[in-house]
Structure 1
């Protein structure tokens, strides 16, 4: 996620595609969510479903609408929980986190969390989001797609369902074949 965010910052990528809002904390200029998950989705811990459609979240627009800086957005993320401190702070959800960060400016100034704040390495978390370690990507080049390698990685190392991976890879193959066929029409 950090490297994908960096690619958007340097202009090598238009956006980062993830379900995870941590991409914005890493500084992704644009985040595409629900890229492959459109349709109905069951809400966790509820017996209801919602319609899910792809969406693009613009970091600068979001910061402007919320009236916070990226550093403050990172502090909000730390308060509500991220992949790196999943529990966040008890009794603090997104609305409360935004309110207290706007009121106090930063984590260190929020009175009601001081005791728990000392229990986590919030400075390291903040630094990780603001100045992450990233893979060195000089240039992005596209070659042949290694479908077997992708399937092995996603199923064996990331525990994705083989059926889901195969379905997605087949959709990708069909889309690429259609694109190639469409371009070939122009050169007949």
Structure 2
């Protein structure tokens, strides 16, 4: 789930943009975050995911293939970053996620039996699981498409943030706000779900656009440092301390941390409020996350035969539709991925 900073981010630090406004920008995408969004969103009316003839889920491959082509057509340069081994601190959150998925699966089954299809779809969206096989075939598809794939030592979102902080890419891309705590100078949200989307449980649709959040502007607007932002995140709850500290919402946490004057004093105070959690370890993880510099960011021409082998031969995708999509990708590569990335320093001016 990540830390929820949404209610703390003022208008001057965030901006909705069209996809085409991101042309020429390299973005390191939190791939697990993206794949889970595809597993949740790409489903049949009753909540059943897309599957091949052998009953293997293909929603993630469909979303990854067509969404990546859309991004490249708009001139965005995607870099896909995959999670490594989860940190030990995350074990509690992982266990809670498994429990939530099991509960959602039971409610989904009951809703289907009762013929409540809209309710069933809602619960089905919370049941998606990524297997090792699904992750590996996603990497294989991306490489066949000519996209750079980066393997993180631990958290993919941390690696994406490091790459942005080092200047290898312009921004980190994720739905979660953790990238800001990890130090990414910019976060781009909604890249996987851009377009017209139905509101859950309502017969109403909204237009979802990419949202860019700039860390420096956020810190300046709130009058805090990144270190203080990390402490606020710990108060609100992160993947390493789900639920946070009882009684602290976004505004309360901001006032509390600012009142203590420094991140060090605030962290000491939080440690007393929540003695069962090693807040110092969590703070250090966000401040200096484990990242690797052993990666290459290069885009290559797509390999049509390998793409068709994975999607058509292995997973029964429609060959004509895949062929047309490949032609779009080849054209987009020629037009957009060979160009040099422009300077971006004054983008938010």
Q: TM-score, normalised to structure 2's length?
A: 0.41
Cα distance per residue 1:18-53 (max 9 Å; x no partner): 00101110001100001121233546xx86876532
Residues 1:172 and 1:37: Cα distance change in structure 2 (over 3 Å): farther
* Number of the residue aligned with 1:8: 164
Q: Note the 1:21-36 alignment, pairs <5 A.
A: 21-36=177-192
- In the other structure, the counterpart of 1:93 is 249
Cα distance in 1 for residues equivalent to 2:219 and 2:324: 35
Q: Which moved more, 1:32-41 or 1:134-143?
A: 134-143
Scaled by the length of structure 1, the TM-score of the pair is: 0.72
- Residue 19 (1) aligns with residue 175 (2): yes
1:146-165 CA-to-partner distances (Å, cap 9, x unmatched) read 758x98xxxxxxxxxx9xxx
Unaligned runs of 5+ in 2: 1-156, 316-321, 337-349
CA distance in 1, matches of 2:325, 2:228: 38
Q: What's the CA shift for 1:179?
A: 1.7
For structure 1, the 5+ residue unaligned runs are 152-161, 163-168, 184-188
Within 5 A, what are the aligned runs for 1:13-162? 13-38=169-194, 39-40=196-197, 42=199, 51-105=207-261, 106-109=266-269, 114-115=272-273, 117-143=274-300
The Cα offsets for residues 87-133 of structure 1, whole Å up to 9 and x where unpaired, read as 111121111111111112313236xx734x21101000000000111
Name the structure, 1 or 2, with higher relative contact order (CA <8 Å, separation 6+). 2
Q: Indicate which of 329, 333, 339 corresponds to 1:176.
A: 329
Alpha-carbon distance between aligned partners in 2 of 1:52 and 1:124, rounded to the nearest angstrom: 36
Mapped to 2, the partners of 1:180 and 1:29 lie a distance apart of: 27
Q: CA 1:55 to 1:124, structure 2 compared with 1: closer, same or farther past 3 Å?
A: same
Give me the CA root mean square deviation. Answer: 3.2
Instruction: Give the distance between the partners of 1:180 and 1:141, measured in 2 at CA.
Output: 12
